[in-house]
Amino acid sequence: MNSLDDPRLFQKYDPEGMLARIHELPAQCQQAWQTAMDFDLPPDYAEIDRVVVLGMGGSAIGGDLVRILALSEARQPIIIHRDYGLPAFVDDRTLVIASSYSGNTEETLSAFEQVLETRSKKLAITTGGRLKEMAEQRNVPVSVFDYPAQPRAALGFSFLPVLCFLQKLGIISDKSADLAEAVRVLEELSKKIDEKVPLSRNQAKQLAGKLYGSLVVIYGADILAEAAHRWKTQINENSKAWACYEVFPELNHNATVGYELPRELADKIRVVLLRSPSFHRRVQLRYKVTGELLDRAGVKYDFVDSEGDCPLSQMMSLVLFGDYVSYYLAILYRVDPTPVAAINYLKEQLAEG
């Protein structure tokens, strides 16, 4: 039996149930959306010129996905702040959303402390912790959710509430129909690539096998730029493996020149190109020509196409596909996808320092 078709390996290397969290993504998205729809925002929060999302890691990627989706219609810029402190432009016409799964993320708390001293509109999204305490002490609205998991496995709760809140404030159009389509697409896709589907018919398992032993580079564009980012971080955290990501068309102005050297790396790198039929025709041509350049350099690559009609479905279908691939890659590497020992060690050393 192929290792990715052996249920005993999933039980052995996934004792904390990361696979179950991946299964739950469609339902999680639906739950997160409804929670946000039921949440009341102060009326004056619509009077803003910009949105700043504070977050790190799995709590920040949701803001990235929102930013990409909103680019084509939002008149207010959406900025994701991954750092200590606060940008100087934050003022009374800024909505600042602090997103932290644990509520104790050091960088986010540092920025939120400064936010509290400004006249900006403020909002927090968390399961609890210090962020919830600080917000409640200053009468800042807090959207609290309960979903026991690693922060990266709670993507729906860092992504869809922010999207829903922007809809409520009139910054973007109504996404309810798109959300319903996306949930259907995710449910259908999961049935095609979950662990019960054998390797011979499972594209996610097949791709994980190709990526095994390689340094993975993910390419994306437009609405899939941050999906590529998500693939990179999921391979890092779930598979415990090196990964990088790049974005079209920028990568054609630098990365493609670097395919030549060192020559011995060509056999160690595998590129995954995430595609959508909605891409600008010139970007679609760039994908084709970039494949030709990779062929010339002797670098192996694979195309993975999105599913669904609306941008939200196309984005989330590839997010889910990448989650499964990173999980199967962890099983091939014989590692538990849930723990993040290096991050925990870093936090311990920072606490001592």
What are the residue numbers of the active site?
Answer: 237, 253, 347
- Are 304 and 273 in contact by the 8 Å Cβ rule? The answer is yes
Q: How far apart are CA 16 and CA 266, in angstroms?
A: 36
Q: Please state whether beta strands 215-221 and 94-100 pair in parallel, antiparallel, or not at all (unpaired).
A: unpaired
Q: Give the closest residue to 59 by CA, choosing from 19, 16, 104, 7.
A: 104
Q: How far apart are CA 305 and CA 12, in angstroms?
A: 31
Q: How far apart are CA 220 and CA 283, in angstroms?
A: 10
Cα 131 to Cα 125, 134, 142, 143, 163, distances in angstroms: 9, 5, 9, 11, 21
Cα 111 to Cα 92, 154, 241, 288, distances in angstroms: 16, 22, 30, 43
Q: How far apart are CA 243 and CA 107, in angstroms?
A: 24
Q: Where are the alpha helices (DSSP H) in 6-49?
A: 7-13, 18-23, 25-37
41: DSSP letter: P
Identify the three-state secondary structure at position 250.
Answer: helix
Identify the three-state secondary structure at position 216.
Answer: strand
* Lookup: tokens for 159: 């992504």
- Are 156 and 32 in contact by the 8 Å Cβ rule? The answer is yes
Phi then psi dihedrals of residue 81, to 5 deg: -105, 110
The burial class, CB within 10 Å (0-12 / 13-18 / 19+), for 39 is middle
